[in-house]
A and B are shown apart, each in its own frame.
Chain A
Amino acid sequence: MSETYSQLEAGYEFPPGSYMLDVSRVSLFLAAVEDKSYPYLENRLIPPMAVAALAMATLSNTISLPPGSIHVSQELSFVAAVSLDDSLTSYAKISRAQKRGKLHLISVDLNVRNQNQQTVLTGKTSFILPQPDGEQ
Chain B
Amino acid sequence: MAKNRGQLSELREGKELPEITKTVTQRNINLYAEASRDFNPVHIDEEFAKKTTLGGTIAHGMLILAYVSEMMTAAFGKMWLTGGRLDVRFKAPARPGETITVSGKITKLEKNNGQTTINCAVLCSNGKGEQVITGEGILTTPEL
From A47, A74, A75, A79, B82 is in contact (CB under 8 Å) with A79
A interface, by DSSP: helix, strand, loop or mixed? mixed
Of B84-92, B103-111, B112-120, B123-131, the one contacting chain A is: B84-92
B144 within 8 A of A: no
Known contacts A38-B77, A38-B78, A48-B81: A57-B38 contact under CB 8 Å: yes
Contact with A along B39-82 (1 / 0, CB 8 A): 01110000010001100000001110111011101100110111
A60 within 8 A of B: yes
A70 within 8 A of B: yes
- Chain A residues with Cβ below 8 Å from B36 are 29, 53-54, 56-57
B29, closest chain A residue (CB):
A32
From A38, A49, A56, B38 is in contact (CB under 8 Å) with A56
Tell me the count of chain A residues lying within 8 A, CB to CB, of chain B: 37
Contact B35 A32 (CB under 8 A): yes
Contact A72 B22 (CB under 8 A): no
Contact A56 B40 (CB under 8 A): no
- Chain A residues with Cβ below 8 Å from B35 are 25, 28-29, 32, 50, 53
A1 within 8 A of B: no
Contact A78 B61 (CB under 8 A): no
Known contacts A48-B81, A71-B61, A78-B85: A57-B37 contact under CB 8 Å: yes
Residues of B within 8 A of A (CB): 22, 28-29, 31-32, 34-38, 40-42, 48, 52-53, 61-63, 65-67, 69-71, 73-74, 77-78, 80-90, 135
